[in-house]
Amino acid sequence: MTKLLASREALLMVAIAFLLAIIAWRFPAFVVPSNLLAVFNDTSPLILLAIGQMIVILTKCIDLSVAANLALTGMVVSLINIAAPGLPVIFIVLIAVGFGTLLGMFNGILVWKLAIPPIVVTLGTMTIFRGIIFLLTEGKWVNSHEMSDSFKSVPRADLLGLPILSWIAIATVILFTIVMTRTSLGRAFYAAGGNPHAATYAGINVGKTQFWAFTISGAIAGLTGYLWVSRFAVAYVDVAAGFELTVVAACVIGGVSIMGGIGTVFGALLGALFLGIIANALPVVNISPFSQMAISGGAIIIAVIVNAQANRTPGRIILKKAEHAK
Amino acid sequence: MNTRSIPDRLQSSLERKLKSWESLLMLVAIGIFVANSFASPYFLNAWNLSDATYNFTEKAMIAFAMALLIISGEIDLSVASIIALASTAMGAAVQMGVGAEGLVLIGLATGLVCGAFNGILVTGLGLPSIVVTIGTMSLFRGISFIILGDQAYRGYPSDFAFFGQGYVWWVISFEFVLFAIIALIYGVILHMTNFGRAVYAIGNNPTGALFSGIRVGRVKFILFLLTGLMSGIAAVCLTSRLGSTRPSIATGWELEIVTMVVLGGVNILGGSGSIPGVVIAAFVMGLVTFGLGLLNVPGIVMSIVIGGLLIGVIALPRLWTMWRTR
């Protein structure tokens, strides 16, 4: 099992190295360390969201509301910043995480207590969250000059040569690697998605585990919401519109099985980096940015095909399942 | 997605529940109709009502095929992107001087090809439809973006306008007639043929269906083909109605179509649902958006209503049973 996961991530690392090599062959300036760090920084929001999404997908759910959560939380903290410019940024961050957590809990409660399919819940909350932004602002933008300087400066502030945004992504990767591999909650996420029946008999409350997955995803989305609006210094209804699909794509490319139970934080990180490198390289290699959508779509399909081949149990299938029927 | 449980009581109770769902929905539709006619003096006008049907006819055509697909336990999130690609193909054909009949053929063929592509990936390679169609959702629309960028195709021939703007008799539009015919065809397919029984059987127990001699893979492939074809038909109608093609055409329709299907009483986990339910749901959604539009409610607020409907129609019956059984 571990061998299989290792090989899948090794495969992805080879793919990323190959991708970088092709770009470097024509445009050596792209792979200098300073630019690679800039690419990492630019990909940090995607890395953060992909980790949250991975945990949700592990439990056999999906969270399509992350981008809307991000946009709503970003707008809420921007409005708070306008109302109280003197409020220290640490409180803004806490409010962002807290508000995102509440939105995630709302998804989680509907999935846990009412047993509504996650895709239905999050498709619904996706539109509701975005609609609420419109109700809050009547479609107006919060622009750079309305935000306080400290509000805008935090994600860009330099610490040991890296922006805070990058450090937050690194810290989150480390934190959740520990949570997923060293805590009983982490094991519960794998168990709840890998085999819900067995998990129930092992004393794990599957619904509650899914609730916690949505809560974590919401908390991360809220934090990313603040980072996003302060980094780009603008908040409006359509912030990060459609980004939820990129996040799911990063997970799928990173080897997270949509059927639940399989995936690692490292895989999600690699999947996000893969998409981040492509997004940053397209303008450099003179490919129209319009082609990015098709490329990430193609990457999802190729990744899911490769993953399915790796998952196929070797040997002869004696009793066919409908999934194997041609 | 979620665990599939075997109901305690079969058929009779289930059928009764379905029937009551549709009558409940019918009451909602009548209620909205009455409320609308009180809310706006412009509502009860034959031409206005005829215009209102355009709010749902194109989406409903796809919703019928989607209903069958969801009943069989699969889903297709790429439908709106198929519309974009089919519309782009027709737009490109116009530039080469293809006539109206040729355009229709090209639109339908593009839909079929996209549906076949989804179908091969899902049934041929045994991949989960939700990931595949999230991938093709980006891929198909991405191809439109590569072809069109920020441009638009115009200059459709005048006889092509009939499909989206023509009237068969008085206020009865061509699209409405097409919608009614397609509803009838799908109603017959699902409720009166062996194929329809097979769709239900697959949705309830794919492995069981396989061992009772149903070609599960082939049935699902046909359903993906049909969904593609319906998207092609919707693309013809929509393109003809708008008279232009942009790559962002029909953005977000997949959400509204899935909402329509679920609102119509189709179980998102597969196995149950009916065409009359979807027909009433189409009217409900059309009336809601049209009524709110007459009251000058902006589109994004309508999407809150749609999102709330999606969650509410599933949550309320479950809350009701929870409340009754305590």
| Mean pLDDT of all residues in B174-181 | 93
pLDDT at A104: 96
pLDDT band at residue B5, thresholds of 50, 70 and 90?
A: low
* Residue spans per domain, chain A: 47-248
User: 3-class secondary structure for A141-171?
Assistant: CECHHHCCHHHHHHHHCEECCEEHHHHHHHH
| Mean pLDDT of all residues in A249-260 | 88
Catalogue the long-range contacts made by A80-89 (C-beta closer than 8 Å, 24 or more residues apart).
Answer: A81/A146, A81/A147, A81/A148, A81/A151, A82/A142, A82/A146, A82/A147, A85/A148, A85/A151, A86/A148, A88/A150, A89/A150, A89/A151, A89/A154
What is the biggest distance separating any 2 CA atoms in chain A, rounded to whole angstroms? 69
pLDDT in tens, A26-84: 888 888 888 899 999 999 999 999 999 999 999 999 999 999 999 999 999 999 998 88
| Mean pLDDT of all residues in B156-184 | 89
Measured between alpha carbons, how far is B198 from B209 in angstroms, rounded to an integer? 7
Residue among A301, A250, A287, A213 nearest A43 (CA) = A250
A58 within 8 A of A213, measured Cβ to Cβ = yes
Considering the four listed CATH numbers 1.20.120, 1.10.3470, 3.40.50, 1.10.8, the one that applies to the domain covering B12-318 is 1.10.3470
A269 within 8 A of A47, measured Cβ to Cβ = yes
Chain A residues lying within 8 Å of B149, measured CB to CB:
288, 290
Q: Which helix (H) or strand (E) holds B173?
A: strand B172-173
pLDDT in tens, A224-243: 999 999 999 888 888 888 78
Query: ipTM greater than 0.90, yes or no?
Result: no
Q: How far is A162 from chain B (nearest CA, A)?
A: 33
Residue among A112, A113, A115, A103 nearest A64 (CA) = A103
> Does residue A316 come out as left (phi exceeding 0), alpha (psi in the -120 to 50 range) or beta?
beta
pLDDT band at residue B37, thresholds of 50, 70 and 90?
A: confident
Of the listed ranges A4-8, B27-31, B41-45, the least confidently predicted one is: A4-8
Q: How far is B216 from chain A (nearest CA, A)?
A: 7
Q: What is the CA radius of gyration of chain A?
A: 20
Q: How far is B19 from chain A (nearest CA, A)?
A: 21
| Mean pLDDT of all residues in B11-27 | 69
Q: How far is B141 from chain A (nearest CA, A)?
A: 7
Provide the β-strand partners of residue A163. Answer: A158
Show which of residues 213-232 on chain A sit within 8 Å of chain B, judged by CB atoms: none
Chain A residues lying within 8 Å of B210, measured CB to CB:
320-322, 325
From the list A61, A249, A258, the residue facing B128 with the nearest CB is A258
Contact assignment for A116 to B314 by CB distance below 8 Å: yes
Q: Within an 8 Å CB–CB cutoff, is residue A239 touching chain B?
A: no
pLDDT at A325: 46
DSSP state of B167: E
Show which of residues 75-104 on chain A sit within 8 Å of chain B, judged by CB atoms: none
Alpha-helical regions (H) of B40-128? 46-53, 57-71, 79-95, 100-119
| Mean pLDDT of all residues in B32-37 | 84
Chain B residues lying within 8 Å of A258, measured CB to CB:
128, 130-131
Residue recorded with tokens 């093609």: B245
Residues A266-293: b if buried by 16+ CB within 10 A, e if exposed: bbbbbbbbbbbbbbbbbeeeeeeebbbb
- Cα–Cα distances in angstroms (integers) from residue B168 to residues A104, B99, B178, B282, in the given order: 49, 21, 10, 21
Show which of residues 152-181 on chain A sit within 8 Å of chain B, judged by CB atoms: none
A:B CB pairs within 8 Å: 170
From the list B217, B307, B314, the residue facing A127 with the nearest CB is B307
Measured between alpha carbons, how far is A23 from A74 in angstroms, rounded to an integer? 34
Q: Within an 8 Å CB–CB cutoff, is residue A259 touching chain B?
A: yes
pLDDT band at residue B57, thresholds of 50, 70 and 90?
A: very high
Q: Report the residue count for chain A.
A: 326
pLDDT in tens, B112-165: 999 999 999 999 988 889 889 989 998 999 999 999 988 889 888 888 888 888
| Mean pLDDT of all residues in A88-93 | 90
Q: Which helix (H) or strand (E) holds B233?
A: helix B216-242
A304 within 8 A of A251, measured Cβ to Cβ = no
B319 within 8 A of B271, measured Cβ to Cβ = no
Compute, in degrees rounded to 10, the torsion defined by CA atoms B134, B140, B145, B151: -130
B66 within 8 A of B227, measured Cβ to Cβ = yes
